[in-house]
Amino acid sequence: MLMPMYNSSSPLTNDDLDLAFSQGYFAAVFQPKISLIDGRTLGVESYIRWHHPELGTLLPGEFLEFITSAGRMEDLSDLMLHEAARVASLWRSDRRHWTVTVNISATDIDNPDFVQRMNDLTTAYAIPREAVAIDIPEAALTVKTDERLKVLKELKGRGIHIALETSGIDLLPPERITAAYFSELKMGGPGLIKLARNIERSHKGIVAERLDIATREGLTVTATRIENIDTIKPLADMGFSAAQGTFIRHPDTFEGLSTWSSDWLIPVVMNERPARADTLARARANIADPDLLILPATDQNPENDQEPSADEASGSDNQSKEPVEPLLAVLP
């Protein structure tokens, strides 16, 4: 979950915000999530961009706190939820049964109408409840825990997929992380996963503990911010069931993902040696930054045996250079 970086010296104003909502300056981009079992695309996570007419494209960390302080976070969440439902409906009409995940805040959960809003959303767009999922940061559940978990339990009982995003800090006690409230756990970043690989399971690092909980509760576990092949290869053996990150795909627009296929990743997640020419060609056609594809050393020229390094990801939602695409919330 992105940490806001807004401060009082920000040039953003309430007039900017009003204009952004009225003129469609907010836009959504989507990052695919793949199965570590068979390599297929399971869904996408949505991220917000603000295409400011003077300041350029702003990432979430540059404006989320400002929007919160302006009391407009629910409006932004509503915009993103409607866009998620819209694209989920379009993808399903194209036989892409992807789940679209939206990051929500504590403010959303505290809204007494939130459960009904989620119910009305899927009804309005004629999509199943599981088509739009919500992602909640663990930190949001450290206060008003009982009240907020009660809301999540009601949402899950109605068929909404709920992911708990953890940052590697043990904030919730294990007995709170159950299938009654959550469908999925999300955790990751190369550093956290590398640390987990170096800690014996008997020492019970947080990743190992959470993987044990997921197994016991029947939750799926997604590794996030995956940037290279060295990070993705051991995930399935560790207990992760899905992955997302810049190695797989940078966030892209709805149109940008129209030809997306994760087929080229199947040999990678199945731990097979990919056919170099075919795999590299597919990767360069499908990935936003082809240099992020790191092939095994056995696929490289022995006389030039240098492994290319992955570009360093910027921000927790993997910043990319996307074409400007206004987001138009299609209200029912």
Question: Around Cβ 303, how many Cβ atoms within 10 Å?
Answer: 5
The C-alpha atoms of residue 48 and residue 80 are separated, in whole angstroms, by 8
Sign of the CA dihedral 78, 83, 89, 91? negative
Question: Around Cβ 57, how many Cβ atoms within 10 Å?
Answer: 15
* pLDDT over 50 at 236, yes or no: yes
* pLDDT over 60 at 301, yes or no: no
CB 29 within 8 A of CB 326: no
Helix (H) or strand (E) holding 264: none
DSSP 38-71: T--EEEEEEEEEEEETTTEEEPGGGTHHHHHHTT
Tell me which of 186-190, 229-233, 323-327 is least confident.
323-327
Single-letter amino acid code for the residue at 288: A
Select from 258, 255, 276 the least CA-distant residue to 267: 276
State pLDDT tens for residues 41-86: 999 999 999 999 999 999 999 999 999 999 999 999 999 999 999 9
* φ, ψ at 164 (rounded to 5°): -100, 120
pLDDT grade for 190, boundaries at 50, 70 and 90: low
Residue with more model confidence, 115 or 315? 115
Q: Residue 269: its pLDDT value, please? A: 73
Q: Residue 166: its pLDDT value, please? A: 86
Q: Residue 272: its pLDDT value, please? A: 60
Percent of the chain with pLDDT over 70: 73
The C-alpha atoms of residue 33 and residue 39 are separated, in whole angstroms, by 9
Question: Around Cβ 32, how many Cβ atoms within 10 Å?
Answer: 24
* pLDDT over 90 at 297, yes or no: no
pLDDT grade for 96, boundaries at 50, 70 and 90: very high
Indicate yes or no: pTM above 0.75. yes
State pLDDT tens for residues 125-165: 999 999 999 999 999 999 999 999 999 999 999 999 999 99
- Write down how long the chain is: 332
Percent of the chain with pLDDT over 90: 59
Tell me which of 237-246, 252-261, 314-323 is least confident.
314-323
State pLDDT tens for residues 74-90: 999 999 999 999 999 99
| Cα dist from 311 to 10, 217, 246, 250, whole Å | 29, 36, 9, 11
CB 189 within 8 A of CB 197: no
Which domains does the chain show, CATH number per domain?
16-294 (3.20.20.450)
Q: Which residues are bridge partners to 242 per DSSP?
A: 35, 222
Torsion of CA 107, 112, 118, 120, to 10 degrees: -140
Q: Which residues are bridge partners to 32 per DSSP?
A: 44
The C-alpha atoms of residue 14 and residue 116 are separated, in whole angstroms, by 29
Q: Residue 122: its pLDDT value, please? A: 95
* pLDDT over 90 at 196, yes or no: no
pLDDT grade for 167, boundaries at 50, 70 and 90: confident
| Cα dist from 163 to 39, 189, 239, 245, whole Å | 20, 17, 17, 16
State the chain's mean pLDDT as an integer. Answer: 80
Integer distance in angstroms from the first to the last C-alpha of the chain?
29
Residue with more model confidence, 296 or 153? 153
Residue with more model confidence, 150 or 325? 150
CA–chain centroid gap for 199, Å, is 26
